[in-house]
């Protein structure tokens, strides 16, 4: 039995068979075709279908973001009709007597190669477009390749180079027992999503990833970061026992702490859940969350072909608010950018995306997108206890501009007699060093703070949160990071507003005492961690009173 070591990114044990997912390579099978006429007809039908879908996306986007930003879909349509491209595919089908999927894929690769060799930067950039349209054509030819990253009747352990957040959200939770990846880190959004979904995960296997083979029987320990290959019977039984014990202790916690409110020095500490989709609310409630401390609304924009409309967003927010009843729900306006990619927005490729055009920067630049989201949020505010939060803030001007837009939408809704919560609370994330340093100024502009320790750590320590190679440097307990948290907490309390933590370090038991000392008002963590955090807080409070 071999043991591989990586970074445990989502707790828990899983036992099962591996399925290797090659996300950068579509596995297109080559078939010999006798009836080439039939194959040509299949190709033409797929071409027509892809054109229709692209045209639909183009027209929808045109209305929402204007001509410039929707143009790329016109270009895709033109490429799809390009005679050189389509004739090359048809020739391949006829001359080589191969299936249309294979002909499209091979031709796409050949054209992509040609684009990559060109002198003009613009033409080199067309490489991804030709691959994109080839994929689209293949999906029209064969629906099963469009269904998601991987399909299987049986539950399996997914092994991949890496997973993007949009690939992770598309996974069928009932089938994926665990996730193992060659690269990755604990605070990448894919890792956070696996924790939210309660799927054990190990990242950063690096070169040892090569030892994983399709169909191999393995044990994944997401707590220790170990992957055991072809374990013997005794080891398997040992881990099965651990699985049962872990379920039992979780059930015990549920019974003893399910509806407990944590009190400290006469004040309540809310223990909330972080979610990415309305579907995550069930698990938040089952795990005893006092509210939603962070709804990463950008996930509503991901894994689809076009922007969610105002009504679609309204419905998603309303569902969450209704299910949560009187409990607070903090929705963060979209934090698109960096690893959270939304291809149909065609944001420019950047040298340093984490420091680039993202989050509130997009909102204040493409105000149409921001206004749609704020309008949906305000309309939904009539159905529960909503708080709106702006991400990546670095200045008072940004808060003032965002709030002015919000006020403008409020006036419009009032004029039209559309119901909304006129006193809806507005807060910001403290996740940049600038925000922490300026926190006493920023506190005057808002109703609450929520400290995003994931980004605050990466920006304070200049250590990329996605880079497993420097995971030792990326330390959320670093004194510089703790100092930033302390500054923000003190500024909030001096201004008389509450402060929460919604980054991953909210669940770190080594920091529970520190947060208690600072008088943090709210901690928000992935749902499966809510009860263990309540228990850690209770123990820390008891031992604090024992010391008095
Ligand atoms: C954070 O930065 O700590 C945070 C909660 O936001 P995200 O992880 O989505 O960047
Ligand atoms: Mg962040």
Q: Structural domains in the chain?
A: 2-22+148-243 (3.50.30.10), 36-145 (1.10.274.10), 266-547 (3.20.20.60)
Rounded Cα distance between 68 and 62, Å, is 8
pTM score: 0.77
- Minimum mean pLDDT among 48-52, 140-144, 387-391, 531-535: which range? 140-144
Report residue 143's pLDDT band, with 50, 70 and 90 as the boundaries: low
Q: Is the CB of 452 under 6 A from ligand 1?
A: yes
Residue 186 phi/psi, 5° resolution?
Answer: -70, -30
**Minimum CA distance residue for ligand 1 atom 1:** 452
Residue 91 and residue 96: Cα distance in Å, rounded? 8
Block residue for tokens 């080594």: 510
What does DSSP assign to residue 220? E
Which atom of ligand 1 is found nearest the CA of 391?
Answer: 6
Tokens of 548: 């008095």
Q: Per DSSP, what are the bridge partners of residue 178? A: 157
Q: Give, to the nearest 10 degrees, the angle between helix 67-81 and helix 83-96.
A: 30
Q: Give tens-digit pLDDT for 168-183.
A: 877 888 899 999 999 8
User: 334 C-alpha to center of ligand 2: Å?
Assistant: 11
In short, whether 270's Cβ falls inside 6 Å of ligand 1 is: no
Q: What local confidence, expressed as pLDDT, does residue 357 receive? A: 96
Mean pLDDT across the stretch 155-161?
92
Instruction: Please pick, among 76, 189, 264, 277, the residue that the annotation labels catalytic.
Output: 189
Residue 51 beta carbon below 6 angstroms from any ligand 1 atom: no
Among residues 297, 326, 328, 302, the alpha carbon closest in space to that of 313 is found at 297
* DSSP single-letter state for residue 451: E
Comparing CA positions, the residue from 341, 391, 12 lying closest to residue 188 is 341
Question: What is the torsion angle, in degrees rounded to the nearest 10, for the CA atoms of residue 331, residue 333, residue 339 and residue 342?
Answer: 120
Helical packing angle, 67-81 and 126-141, nearest 10°: 60
Whether 148 has a pLDDT exceeding 50, the answer reads: no
Confidence at residue 81, expressed as pLDDT on a 0 to 100 scale: 92
Flag the least confident range among 348-352, 361-365, 429-433: 348-352
Nearest listed ligand to the Cα of residue 484: 1
The pair phi, psi for residue 221, each rounded to 5°, is -110, 100
Which residue, among 210, 204, 208, 207, has the nearest Cα to 183 in the 3D structure? 204
Question: Do 159 and 212 meet the contact criterion of CB atoms below 8 Å apart?
Answer: yes
β-strand partners of 95 = none
Q: Which residue's entry shows tokens 């033109």?
A: 78
What is the distance in A from the centroid of ligand 1 to the CA of 238? 36
155 and 176 in contact (C-beta within 8 Å)? yes
Bridge-based pairing of strands 217-221 and 13-21 is antiparallel
Task: Please work out, in degrees rounded to the nearest 5, the angle formed at the alpha carbon of residue 38 by the alpha carbons of 32 and 39.
Answer: 50
Distance, CA of 423 to CA of 425 (rounded, Å): 6
Q: Respond yes or no: is residue 502 known to be catalytic.
A: yes
Catalytic residue among 140, 363, 446, 502: 502
* Strand 201-203 to 7-10 pairing: antiparallel
Tokens coding 521: 């008002």
């Amino acid at each position: 039995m071999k043991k591989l070591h990586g970074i445990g990114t989502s707790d828990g044990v899983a036992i099962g068979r591996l399925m290797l997912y090659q996300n950068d390579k579509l596995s297109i099978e080559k078939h010999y075709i006798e009836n080439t006429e039939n194959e040509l007809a299949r190709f033409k039908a797929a071409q027509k279908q892809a054109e229709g879908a692209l045209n639909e996306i183009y027209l929808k986007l045109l209305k929402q973001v204007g001509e410039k930003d929707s143009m790329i879909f016109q270009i895709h349509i033109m490429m799809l009709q390009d005679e050189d491209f389509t004739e090359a595919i048809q020739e391949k089908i006829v001359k080589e007597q191969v299936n249309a999927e294979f002909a499209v894929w091979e031709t796409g690769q050949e054209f992509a190669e040609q684009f990559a060799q060109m002198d003009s930067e613009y033409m080199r950039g067309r490489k991804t477009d030709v691959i994109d349209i080839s994929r689209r054509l293949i999906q029209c030819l064969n629906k099963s390749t469009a269904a998601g990253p991987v399909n299987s009747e049986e539950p399996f352990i997914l092994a991949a180079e890496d997973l993007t957040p949009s690939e992770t959200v598309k996974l069928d939770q009932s089938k994926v027992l665990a996730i193992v990846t060659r690269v990755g880190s604990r605070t990448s959004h894919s890792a956070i999503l696996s924790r939210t979904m309660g799927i054990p995960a190990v990242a950063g296997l690096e070169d040892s990833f090569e030892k994983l083979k399709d169909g191999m029987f393995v044990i994944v320990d997401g707590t220790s970061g170990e992957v055991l290959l072809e374990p013997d019977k005794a080891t398997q039984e040992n881990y099965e026992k651990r699985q049962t014990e872990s379920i039992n202790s979780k059930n015990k916690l549920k019974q003893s702490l399910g509806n407990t409110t944590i009190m400290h020095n006469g004040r309540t500490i809310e223990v909330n859940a972080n979610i990415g989709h309305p579907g995550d609310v069930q698990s938040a409630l089952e795990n005893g969350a006092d509210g939603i401390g962070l709804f990463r609304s950008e996930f509503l924009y991901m894994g689809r072909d076009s922007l969610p409309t105002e009504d679609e967003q309204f419905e998603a927010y309303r569902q969450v608010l209704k299910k949560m009843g009187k409990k607070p729900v903090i929705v963060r306006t979209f934090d698109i950018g960096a690893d959270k990619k939304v291809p149909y927005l065609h944001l420019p490729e950047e040298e340093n995306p984490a420091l680039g055009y993202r989050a509130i920067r997009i909102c204040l630049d493409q105000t149409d997108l921001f206004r749609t989201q704020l309008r949906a949020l305000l309309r939904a505010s009539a159905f529960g206890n909503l708080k709106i939060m702006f991400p990546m803030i670095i200045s008072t001007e940004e808060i003032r501009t965002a709030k002015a837009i919000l006020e403008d939408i409020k006036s419009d809704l009032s004029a039209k007699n559309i119901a909304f919560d006129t006193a809806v609370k507005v807060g910001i994330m403290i996740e940049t060093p600038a925000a922490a340093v300026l926190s006493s100024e920023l506190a005057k502009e808002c109703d609450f703070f929520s400290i995003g320790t994931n980004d605050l750590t990466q920006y304070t320590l200049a250590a990329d949160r996605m880079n497993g190679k420097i995971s030792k440097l990326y330390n959320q307990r670093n004194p510089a990071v703790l100092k930033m948290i302390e500054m923000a907490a003190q500024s909030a309390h001096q201004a008389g507003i509450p402060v929460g933590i919604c980054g991953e370090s909210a669940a770190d038991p080594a920091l529970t005492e520190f947060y208690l000392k600072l008088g943090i008002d709210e901690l928000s963590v992935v749902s499966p961690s809510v009860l263990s955090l309540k228990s850690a807080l209770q123990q820390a409070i008891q031992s604090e009173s024992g010391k008095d």
